[in-house]
Amino acid sequence: MTLLETIKSPADLRKLPVERLPEVAADIRKAICDQVSVSGGHLAPNLGVVELTIAMHYVFDFAWDRLLFDVGHQCYPHKLLTGRLPLLKNLRTSAGMAGFPEPAESPYDLFRVGHAGTGISTAVGMARGDSLNGEGYDPQTNAKGRRVATIIGDASIVNGVAMEGLNGAGTLKRQFLVILNDNGMSISKPQGAIAQHFDRVRLSHTYADFKKRGKEMLKHLPGGSLIAEAYHQAGEVTKAALHEHAWFEHFGLLTAGPIDGHDFPTLMEFLTEARDLDRPMVLHVKTVKGKGFDFAEGDSSKFHSPAPFVREGCRVEIKKDGRSFTAAIGDILVDAMKRDPKILTATAAMPDGTGINKTLAAFPDRSFDTGICESHALDMMAGLAKTGWKTFFAVYSTFVQRAFDQAFQESSLQGLPVRLLLDRAGLVGGDGAVHHGFCDIALLRTLPAAAIVAPIDEPSLVEAVEFMRCYEEGLSAARYPRDNVSDLVVNRLGKTPRYELGKARCLTPELDVGKGKPDVAVLAFGTPAIDALKAADALKGEYSVSVYDARFAKPVDAALVRDLLSRNIPIVTVEDHSIIGGFGAAVLESAQEQHLDTSRIVRLGLPDSWIIQDSRARQLEIAGIDEAGITRGIRQAAALPSVEFRTRSSVAAPVLA
């Protein structure tokens, strides 16, 4: 039995002598690496915070105190120390451990969190709430009160929400600890002036000498208190050591560090002092992303959140099972940029995850990584569009929510044709509810003149980019899933036609408009069209089903909707998006605007409930938008009573036949 297996809660951890903590750290690293190699998951960020997490649980009692994570992709060590080792074998599935903090798993997880920048603000809220409840820690009046700590990365600290959180934290009149986990990395290399500032701090002489100088200070400060006394002693030597970079001082936060985030004695020393301080502070901790495994340290971007992989000695190979939409879009953009010198691309800290790593390499002067700053990125794209550039912003669907205000104010309202490439649209698999891209259609189709498309495969993605390149009337967006591209349609139908604004494409040409009357028509938005075709094939002999690649959620193909309903053909809409406000809702609205009866429209989409982590295939099944679910929807539509076609301008109500 490993030492980790004996730890059922942090109380067990605190029974161990400090000398045995490196053994716990080694067990945690091995357990995480062994599991992620099988299931995939966030590897490098978790390996980098092992000692820091152990030290936090050793010094604080988070069964009572508050620990809040920013982003949350560094929470595996925390979970293993809080009784969830048995759940690790089913990591990122509904039967096991979520890849992000999950309150349903444990009271040690306070928030479901997967977006950067939020940890400080939620921690400020809990600190204020505890104080108002009379439970907040105060060394004079409530020594047994709750402490509050939050861990944020050096890349997340530049996020606008984090800045607002720091501004609020500086007004607190109580203990409050922000751990700045500085590993010199985001998902990839951090960007921006603040990241450059941290680089200078890491390279300065003080980082190398800080621990030694700190111990020397202990000998000279009255009472031997490193932090509390340093705050009260205003000597320049003390301030220089504690405020190596006084940047956070401007927020009213005492700052210490950087310190070695892998050295237990140093961590214990500083965390103990910070735990009992009576004011807010930032502890700058220097860590190594991917610590403990050479392959993860050497390429922490590649091993940030890898697919399953195989280790053979010094060689590590990540398993591949096909060509992804992300890989495809990178190549498509490079080709488009070769043909059109006015195209620019950008991403917000996700160059590998969006394919922009390829344009950054091929066109470094026309490609940008803004860091975790989605709002800034979209505003920057609007500014570039104003000066005549064709801007493509590649961003996860779940993160475009953070830039919706900019999509509204600086792009759409100005009539600027900013182009959004929404990766990870719909259900995302193991990352779970915190990352599902379930509301981008509902948000973006409110914007006048917006064009929203959903390619179904690589050839249609090529045509979508070409359509967006030429679309100048307003904002445009293409959404596609975290999945591999299918060759079903191109093998069946050959060349993919160009996109025409607001026009769908029939994938069953023998049952297209004017070529017979199918029993049911499926209007599929995006990759659900592939499963709709499979469902139609499976139902041959029972029902004739026409399948359309809807292509546009705005504007929808109103003429197609009218033609189908006027011929009394029931419609099934299907989308990998919330059924509320999505493509199906747009079809209903189109029918209503044309005074058509809507009783023969069946909508399939994501339910009005959260779908937790699991395989993407299992999530599609739960939502009822896989092949089996679409088959059920077709049968449901076929069983609906027929309606005599009359427009609502000619009758008061639909007439049932």
Angle at 532 between CA 528 and CA 534, to 5 degrees: 120
- For residue 628 the two structure tokens come to 């089996």
d(CA 281, CA 254): 4
The string over 215-251, giving b where at least 16 C-beta atoms fall within 10 Å of a residue's C-beta and e elsewhere, is eebeeebeeebbbbbbbebeeeebeebbbbbebbeeb
At 243 the pLDDT is 45
| 8 A C-beta contact, residue 178 and residue 156 | no
Tokens of 509: 């040409």
pLDDT number for residue 312: 78
CA distances in angstroms from 452 to 29, 272, 314, 504, 633, listed in the order given: 44, 53, 46, 12, 24
Angle between helices 205-220 and 193-203 (to 10 degrees): 60
Name the DSSP class of 299: T
Q: Is the peptide bond before 258 cis (omega within 30 degrees of 0)?
A: yes
Buried b (16+ CB within 10 A) or exposed e, 514-528: eeeebbbbbbbbbbb
Strand 343-347 and strand 655-656: the pairing is unpaired
Tokens of 261: 């985030």
Report the alpha-carbon distance of residue 416 to residue 409 in Å, rounded.
10
Alpha-carbon distance of 520 to 532, in angstroms, equals 12
Give me the average pLDDT of each 10-residue run along the chain (657 residues): 96 96 97 95 95 98 97 96 97 95 96 94 97 96 97 88 93 96 65 50 41 43 44 37 59 88 94 94 94 88 88 78 94 98 96 96 97 94 97 97 96 97 97 96 98 98 98 98 96 97 97 91 98 97 97 98 96 98 98 97 97 96 98 96 59 33
pLDDT at 148: 98
CA 254, CA 471: separation in Å to the nearest integer? 51
Strand partners, 396: 423
Q: What domains are there in the chain, each with its CATH number?
A: 49-73+110-286 (3.40.50.970), 325-479 (3.40.50.970), 505-643 (3.40.50.920)
Query: Residues 456, 527: contact at Cβ < 8 Å?
Result: yes
Helices (H), 264-421: 264-275, 294-298, 325-339, 351-354, 356-362, 374-386, 397-400, 404-406
What pLDDT, on the 0 to 100 scale, is given for residue 353?
A: 94
Active site residues: 289, 374, 402
What are the CA-CA distances from residue 335 to residues 328, 465, 606 (Å)? 11, 11, 34
Q: Which of 151, 269, 288 is nearest to 211 (CA)?
A: 269
Q: What SS3 state is found at 514?
A: coil
Residue 616 belongs to what H/E stretch?
helix 616-623
Give CA–CA dist 519/637, Å, rounded: 9
Q: Reduced to 3 states, what is the DSSP secondary structure of residue 594?
A: coil
Cis peptide leading into 555, omega within 30 of 0? yes
Task: Return the pLDDT at 248.
Answer: 81
> Which residue has 């989605």 as its token pair?
374
Q: Quote the tokens at residue 106.
A: 């444990």
Cα–Cα nearest to 174, from 230, 203, 135, 232: 135
Residue in 75, 53, 74, 43 with CA at minimum distance from that of residue 155 = 74
The full DSSP string for 61-111 is -TTTSEEEESSSTT-HHHHHHTT-GGGGGGTTSTTS--SS--TTT-TT--S
Please provide the DSSP assignment of 243-264 as one string: TSSGGGGGGT-EEEEEEETT-H
Intra-chain end-to-end CA distance of the chain, in Å: 72
In whole angstroms, give the CA distance from residue 439 to residue 73: 22
Residue partners of 578: CB distance under 8 A and separation at least 6: 438, 439, 441, 442, 605, 606, 608
AA identity, residue 237:
V
